């Protein structure tokens, strides 16, 4: 019994040590190019506490945040930024449209927050549901609805942090994939070989490359190889046959065909142009 009471006491102490967070407003804003709003935090009739912060979560379009120090920050889709309410001077729609969620909240200790820094975090279905529930219950008439909204917002802050970490891992995975592919340009390696080496399916590898580069992996490899070929033709004394072997083409005929399809003329002509300069 003593151990159980001690554990409960520790949990209570940990809870009391958590920074207190109080959500006061949620706005869902969908605006066009005429949207241009100044922050009235310096208005003598509106003096928010120094502990008040704002989270701006862009869902679609693109916005622009002006800080009081003169810095202008672009807020693209799937971005998140948290600022102290006194730091923001102005925000406006940057292009044809801007759809965003605006959360105003108080936090006693903001040391755990990432302030004045744009983070790219995909808007998930889970986040949409939490945000909607939070919005509905914040304006509720009962104490329990209000408390529920506060807890939902705490969950939202935690979710942003977790998703930010996941996004970083995904980005590291993408960078690793691209780096690995570039290393294999000199080999006659297929997309299936690359996928197996990276311990993923061809479908997943294809999705990663299209999301990151706009090209499927096979096309990306071809583009990189041909770019390397052109550089070697212009800067080296290697023969075209040697270049074909160096860049992972099956033979010189294969290189000639791919090069002409890409640039409209054969590799031999590219080298002649360099000599004529």
- Residue 263, H or E segment: helix 252-263
Please check whether residue 65 is in contact with residue 83, taking contact to mean a CB–CB distance below 8 angstroms.
yes
* H or E element in which residue 176 lies: helix 143-183
The predicted structure's pLDDT at residue 220: 83
Q: Are 209 and 215 in contact (CB under 8 A)?
A: yes
Q: Which structure tokens are listed for 250?
A: 């099956």
Give the whole-angstrom CA distance, residue 159 versus residue 156.
Answer: 5
pLDDT for the residue numbered 199 = 79
- Quick one: pLDDT at residue 11? 41
Q: How far apart are CA 11 and CA 112, in angstroms?
A: 20
Backbone φ and ψ for 108, nearest 5 degrees, come out as -65, -40
190 vs 193: CA distance, rounded Å: 5
Q: Write out the two tokens for 119.
A: 């983070």
Tokens matching residue 255? 């290189």
Domains and CATH numbers, the chain: 18-121+137-167 (2.60.120.280), 184-277 (1.10.10.60)
pLDDT in tens, the chain (277 residues): 444 445 434 443 443 345 688 999 999 999 999 999 887 555 544 556 788 999 999 999 999 999 988 899 999 998 999 999 889 889 999 889 999 999 999 988 888 888 898 988 888 888 999 999 999 999 888 889 999 999 999 999 888 887 766 666 666 666 777 777 777 766 777 788 878 877 778 888 888 778 777 788 888 888 888 988 998 988 888 999 999 888 888 899 999 999 999 889 999 888 877 666 6
Task: Check: CB of residue 95 under 8 Å from CB of residue 33.
Answer: yes
* Cβ proximity of 147 and 137 under 8 Å: no
Q: Name the CA dihedral angle for 87, 92, 95, 99, rounded to a multiple of 10 degrees.
A: 90
* Residue keyed to tokens 């340009």: 185
pTM here? 0.56
Q: Please return the burial class of 32, using the count of CB atoms within 10 Å of its CB with bins 0-12, 13-18 and 19+.
A: exposed
């Amino acid at each position: 019994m003593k151990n159980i009471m001690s554990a409960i006491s520790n949990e209570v102490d940990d809870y009391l040590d958590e920074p207190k967070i109080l959500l006061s407003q949620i706005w869902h804003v969908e605006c066009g190019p005429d949207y241009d709003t100044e922050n009235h935090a310096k208005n003598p009739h509106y003096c928010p506490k120094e502990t008040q912060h704002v989270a701006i979560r862009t869902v679609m379009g693109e916005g622009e945040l002006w800080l009081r120090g003169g810095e202008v920050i672009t807020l693209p889709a799937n971005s998140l930024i948290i600022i102290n309410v006194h730091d923001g001077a102005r925000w406006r729609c940057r292009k044809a449209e801007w759809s965003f969620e605006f959360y105003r909240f108080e936090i006693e200790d903001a040391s755990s927050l990432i302030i004045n820094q744009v983070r790219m975090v995909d808007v998930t279905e889970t986040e949409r549901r939490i945000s909607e529930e939070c919005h509905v219950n914040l304006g509720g008439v009962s104490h329990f609805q209000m408390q529920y909204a506060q807890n939902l917002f705490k969950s939202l802050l935690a979710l942003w942090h977790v998703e930010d970490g996941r996004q970083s891992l995904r980005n590291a995975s993408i960078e690793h994939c691209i780096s690995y592919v570039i290393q294999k340009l000199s080999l006659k390696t297929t997309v299936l070989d690359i996928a197996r080496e990276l311990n993923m399916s061809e479908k997943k590898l294809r999705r990663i490359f299209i999301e990151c580069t706009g090209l499927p992996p096979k096309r990306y490899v071809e583009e990189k190889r041909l770019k390397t070929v052109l550089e070697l033709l212009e800067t080296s004394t290697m023969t075209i046959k040697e270049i074909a072997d160096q860049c992972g083409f099956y033979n010189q005929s294969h290189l000639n065909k791919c090069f002409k399809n890409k640039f409209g003329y054969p590799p031999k002509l590219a080298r002649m142009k360099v000599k004529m300069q």
